[in-house]
A and B are shown apart, each in its own frame.
Chain A
């Protein structure tokens, strides 16, 4: 029954040199594999650094010409070679703010429902649909924006807002349909799935005994959720909001299609404007002259800087809470 030597191709290599060759072979393959995969992994790091270097390298002209005033100057005049980024920074911030004002309460509310209140199967199905919304290409949402949201804001939603809040500077002036408000609405739809899906995950990571503790003390389901679970998950939810914000600030196509393409700073949300990403998309391929194009690239650098900052904060927040929750569990 024992396996006899004859069935084997040969006994383990005998002499030291032969043995070494055999082992050296495997170790050599492992070393090569380690090296090759290491290089591949480093390529991610390399591309990221390279990206920053290229953006920096190709935006020296406006930095020399305008310095920090670039960010504070409100005039963007390609014809006279005068470039100030303020209208775009303003447009980016305003549209993102509108988006977050709509998406945060909606998203967190939906996440609470999906994580805490809905039956698990139903919740999974709805979450699946919400996450599919994140997969919708932004140009498709832009198309819906032009042909549906813009006319709706112009003829229905805008006039209603004007009637209700027309006394504030935010809702005055002619309603074009395109503009900050419409961009904010479209952005809200794009940001929503991020907030819902990440917040839900953070809420689900809150240990069950916390919930049960509150319920055992006689709290209603809503009280247990709102006073115990949500505060525990608070920082993580904040992280999801920051990630959503990062996406809103950088969103290009949908915004460029509904924002109106006017580099101006206007108090009214009905007014057309411009955002950093959308002006790059609109003007880059027609940018004549190095200063013009490099100014657009510098806008890209600004956008990258904002993303870097938001991303770091968001990651720290999400990391902090999930670890805390895990530690408590």
Chain B
């Protein structure tokens, strides 16, 4: 967890604070009506992305604010999921995929952080609930065990807290050792969230987490996002604009591999600067 002191320490670690602060000021000017002061957790600059010869992201730059919810919206195939999968380098599972540009997590290039550590810091929840063929308990305990974070009573406690964090505890506390497949779709997705929370990530990426769920399950997940926000930065891809408007502090609109507009959610949905954004949020296309 990044305490203020730790954040300060990280700034002093930065070899070139002058430039960074300069950039930060510049960005702060760009994003004028910020609701609260928030540090920048992830800084992406001029990101290009290719699947083989095909370019799917073009010069994307974005600052993800710490402990805020950032939503990425846009029509399908616009590159929002691809961008998300760059942030924890999940794209690397696909051969012939290539990313260019600069992505920094707390001033450290994510390409310099070895994968297990990066993914411990940047967790991910996928579109389709993906419980492992194990018990509910073992699903949540998977991450902590992999990273050697906790064992024994501590692990039990951690599992409980993670399940509470994902608003699932009350429903499963009596069936922790049942197969995760016995849960409903919405419960499975919250289990996936609990599993991601159990390694205490600094950033949580969610890739259309509600697209396969019913409205009630969706509402539960949206609600728990506000709780998660208190302790980690959230980036959520959604095709549901109402969802973005409900949950996000900041919203970025992607179109054909470009980040067309990025601003606080209110501005995006009330007074977008670009015509494409307005067309999209008013439902004129996409």
Report A's interface with B, CB cutoff 8 A: 1-3, 5, 7-13, 19-20, 22-23, 26-27
Residues in B lying within 8 Å of A, measured CB to CB: 1, 114-117, 120-121, 148-151, 154, 157-158, 161-162, 164-165, 197, 200, 227, 230-231
User: Does the CB pair A9–B148 fall under 8 Å?
Assistant: yes
Q: Are B121 and A7 in contact (CB under 8 A)?
A: no
Lowest 7 A-B CB distances belong to which pairs?
A23-B114, A2-B231, A3-B161, A26-B116, A9-B149, A9-B150, A8-B149
Contact of A8 (CB < 8 Å), options: B115, B116, B150, B165: B150
Q: Which residues of B contact A3 (CB under 8 A)?
A: 158, 161-162, 165, 197, 200, 231
- Min CB–CB distance B126 → chain A (angstroms): 22
From A2, A12, A27, give the contact of B121 (CB < 8 A): A12
Q: In the assembly, what is the distance between CA of A8 and CA of B162, in Å?
A: 12
Q: Are A23 and B117 in contact (CB under 8 A)?
A: yes
Chain A residues within 8 Å of B154, by CB: 7-9
Give the shortest distance, in Å, between B7 (CB) and chain A (any CB): 14
Residues of chain A within 8 A (CB-CB) of B116 are 22-23, 26
Cα distance, A20 to B116, chains bound together (Å): 11
Give the residues in chain A near B227, CB-CB below 8 Å.
1
- With both beta carbons as reference points, the residue of chain B lying nearest to A11 in the complex is identified as B1
A8 in contact with B117 (CB, 8 Å): no
CA distance A12 to B162 in the complex (A): 18
The residues of B that contact A23 with a CB separation of less than 8 Å are 114-117
Contacts of A13 in B (CB 8 A): 117
Question: Chain B residues near A2 (CB, 8 Å)?
Answer: 165, 230-231
Residues of B within 8 A of A8 (CB): 149-150, 154, 158, 200
CB-based nearest B residue for A19 = B117
What residues on A are CB-neighbors of B230 within 8 Å? 1-2
A-B contact list, 11 entries, CB within 8 Å: A2-B165, A3-B231, A9-B148, A9-B149, A9-B154, A11-B1, A12-B117, A12-B121, A22-B116, A23-B116, A23-B117
Q: List B contacts of A20 (CB < 8 A).
A: 114
- Chain B contacts for A11, CB-based, 8 A: 1
Known A1-B164, A3-B197; further 4 A-B contacts with Cβ < 8 A: A3-B200, A7-B158, A13-B117, A19-B114
Which of B161, B197, B200, B227 is most buried by chain A, counting CB atoms within 10 A of its CB? B200
Q: Which residues of A contact B157 (CB under 8 A)?
A: 7
Q: Which residues of A contact B161 (CB under 8 A)?
A: 1, 3, 7
